[in-house]
Amino acid sequence: MLLHGLAGHQGEWDDLAGRLLADGHRVVTYDARAHGDSTRRPAATTRAAHVQDAVALIDHLSLAPAVLIGQSLGGHTALLLAAAHPGLVASLVLVEAGPGGPDPELPARIENWLDRWPTPFASLESAREFLGHEAWARGLERRADGWHPRFDRDKILACVAEPAATSYWPQWSRIPHPTLLVRGDRGTVDDDQTTEMLLRRPQTHHTLIPDAGHDVHLDQPARLHEAVAGFLRTWSTADTR
């Protein structure tokens, strides 16, 4: 199951999903609450609510034990799910994600990032040029005056309220599953956090993808697939899907 990041959408995973399907895996993606085609203004945007959505999908589709692959905030959701519901998870792949926190400057950084978006975009091409990837542009919706995000700014900011104020190292430390941490060499998961993650769970596998930023799955999809496929071959079981 693939979990996208903040302000993203499930279509970001199209490349990796296609490669994993070709490998013979069952692949599930979805739009997180307050994102894409999911409920735009949910009553709750807590970390627990995001985790429960993923749990409900795993239960509904009989995915357990599932391999969770999450990028950024989606990786954080996967991490918390694995800690709280270990029986639902087979293994974990975190792409530019970790326990982090607290990070009181996070909401301001996200706010400044969103405020720089020149919305509405006049065209998908102008959106692609600004956002950096065609997949991000495909996450927009067309209205009479141009292309707009499929999310509301206040709900996106609400999604990071808890990570800004909370440390999740206890959850990280108790995860029992095989785990792969994937970072971009120009990403946002720094060396200090990585070192602490490996100290607390030395069995964690770690790979650094060259020529990639925070969006490793979009910057270097083939290299990400190579890393994920190798990890899955190592830890695959008859029940993994």
Tens of pLDDT, residue by residue over 50-98, are 999 999 999 999 999 999 999 999 999 999 999 999 999 999 999 999 9
Task: Enter the tokens of residue 143.
Answer: 């209205």
Please give the average per-residue pLDDT across 124-153, as a whole number.
Answer: 97
Residue 239 predicted with pLDDT over 80: no
Residue 40: Cβ within 10 Å count: 13
Q: Would 92 be classed as within a structural domain?
A: yes
Domain that holds residue 95: 2-102+165-235
CATH, residue 39? 3.40.50.1820
Residue 180 predicted with pLDDT over 80: yes
- What pLDDT is attached to residue 241? 39
Residue 237 predicted with pLDDT over 70: no
Q: Would 122 be classed as within a structural domain?
A: no
Q: Would 141 be classed as within a structural domain?
A: no
Question: Considering its fold, how many domains does the chain have in total?
Answer: 1
Residue 152 predicted with pLDDT over 80: yes
- What pLDDT is attached to residue 101? 86
Please give the average per-residue pLDDT across 153-173, as a whole number.
Answer: 97
Q: Is the pTM of this model over 0.85?
A: yes
Q: Would 64 be classed as within a structural domain?
A: yes
Residue type, 167: S
Please give the average per-residue pLDDT across 90-108, as a whole number.
Answer: 96
Residue 206 predicted with pLDDT over 60: yes
Q: Would 114 be classed as within a structural domain?
A: no
Q: Would 143 be classed as within a structural domain?
A: no
Contact predicate 89/68, CB 8 Å: yes
- pLDDT (tens digit per residue) in 18-61: 999 999 999 999 999 999 999 999 999 999 999 999 999 999 99
Q: Would 152 be classed as within a structural domain?
A: no
Q: Would 134 be classed as within a structural domain?
A: no
Task: Enter the tokens of residue 41.
Answer: 């203004």
- Per the prediction, the chain carries an average pLDDT of 96
- What pLDDT is attached to residue 86? 98
